[in-house]
Structure 1
């Protein structure tokens, strides 16, 4: 992994850890019990942050080959963008907010499209690297 990519992975991991820690502390130190929906949202955000931190630790320690880290990152982005979109649209629907549904759905759709494009690009890059590997292995004596 190149230095800029390693720094990016480190930033993503530290960001996920910071978000998870902050939300966990807010949840644990609140003056009274939170509503069930808020607890579910907090748990989901903590899980997302911990997942990014775990991925970063794995990628930085293991040094994945043939761009598998890019494919995993793409899948995480697609999954988390989709879950976030579903959650925010559900909240907007529950509040009967047409503007909220449109805003959450529109922004969510943009996030899903961008993350899907990243995943497609990562898979193509990995496929190209693996094809090159097979080609090089076929030319050795």
Structure 2
């Protein structure tokens, strides 16, 4: 099954609401700003940072760039058929799990673990809803 049937440009532009486009622009700008600011902070450190701190900075910059890249891809590619929601769900799940594991390992507190479990659980719920929505759209497209 193909995901690119013969839609007109008017139909394609009408499928993404203004609210969704604004949200994607906000996600892209937030990711890009985070990556730029963390990169600048890292680059302007007066002394060499420990290797664990350098790894943490690199991972945070990559997370910001991943969100910016996702937003750019979602804004430019048409039609999406809710694939953007599934990818966003996977990004949220992966990054919240990574953050939860890293913060629990660094701090060793139960609070960090609890916050990580709550955030990862929320990301998993978002991912599940995205798959359900995509399945529904593809079923309607077939019918």
Structure-2-length-normalised TM-score: 0.87
| Paired residues for 1:41-56 under 5 Å | 41-56=56-71
Cα 1:107–1:64 shift into 2, 3 Å: farther
Q: Do structure 1's residue 112 and structure 2's residue 120 form an aligned pair?
A: yes
The whole-number CA distance in structure 1 between the counterparts of 2:47 and 2:78 is 44
> Unaligned 5+ residue runs, structure 2?
1-15
**C-alpha displacement of 1:63:** 3.1
Q: Do structure 1's residue 133 and structure 2's residue 141 form an aligned pair?
A: yes
Q: Do structure 1's residue 70 and structure 2's residue 85 form an aligned pair?
A: yes
**DSSP 3-state at the match of 2:47:** coil
1:11 to 3, 26, 29: 26
Residue 72 of structure 2 is matched in structure 1 by 57
1:33 to 39, 48, 60: 48
Residue 8 of structure 2 is matched in structure 1 by none
Which 4+ residue blocks in structure 1 deviate beyond 3 angstroms?
A: none
Residue deviations 1:62-90 (CA, integer Å, cap 9, x gap): 13421000000000000000000111011
**DSSP 3-state at the match of 2:46:** coil
The whole-number CA distance in structure 1 between the counterparts of 2:64 and 2:70 is 10
Contact 2:35 2:62 in 1 (8 A): yes
Q: Do structure 1's residue 85 and structure 2's residue 93 form an aligned pair?
A: no
2:130 to 98, 122, 130: 122
The whole-number CA distance in structure 2 between the counterparts of 1:86 and 1:30 is 26
Structure number with the higher helix fraction is 1
The whole-number CA distance in structure 2 between the counterparts of 1:11 and 1:26 is 22
Task: Let me know the Cα RMSD of the aligned residues.
Answer: 0.8
Residue deviations 1:102-129 (CA, integer Å, cap 9, x gap): 1111111010000000000000000000
